[in-house]
Amino acid sequence: MKNFFLLFSHTLTPDQVEDAKQSLGVSSIVSLPADLQQLFSNVPPDLHSIEEYLLPIKKWLTDNVAQADYVLIQGDFGATYSLVSHAGQIGAVPIYATTERKSVEVMQPDGTVLTQRVFKHKIFRKY
């Protein structure tokens, strides 16, 4: 069985957990340690290069990911690009989640209309 590593700023939905187990055959879901999650979720917007900034996350991946493990990578565009490349170089399978988006309008008692956006997980897709 494969592991499913999260480089992701959100919590997986129950649908995503089930899909990972069913369609990808993962046995465990592994989150970043808290300090690395903090780095991943807060990439500084004023750095001209983030390669050095990402080194602790890349080292953690290299030390923990086995061949053909899945790595869900979604976040800052530059960090995502760099980490997808790194995951591929170490033999992991970089993936992202797709969603179906619907807009729902709800009439309020005062006559105003509240628009809600509903996101539903569909599949995981390889980069």
CATH number at residue 112: 3.40.50
How many domains, in total, are found in the chain? 1
Tell me the residue range of the domain where 55 lies.
2-126
Query: Radius of gyration over alpha carbons of the chain, in Å?
Result: 17
Q: pLDDT tens track of the chain, all 127 residues?
A: 899 999 999 899 999 999 999 999 999 999 999 999 999 999 999 999 999 999 999 999 999 999 999 999 999 999 999 999 999 999 999 999 999 999 989 899 999 999 988 889 999 999 9
DSSP characters over 70-110? EEEEESSHHHHHHHHHHHHHTT-EEEEEEEEEEEEEEE-TT
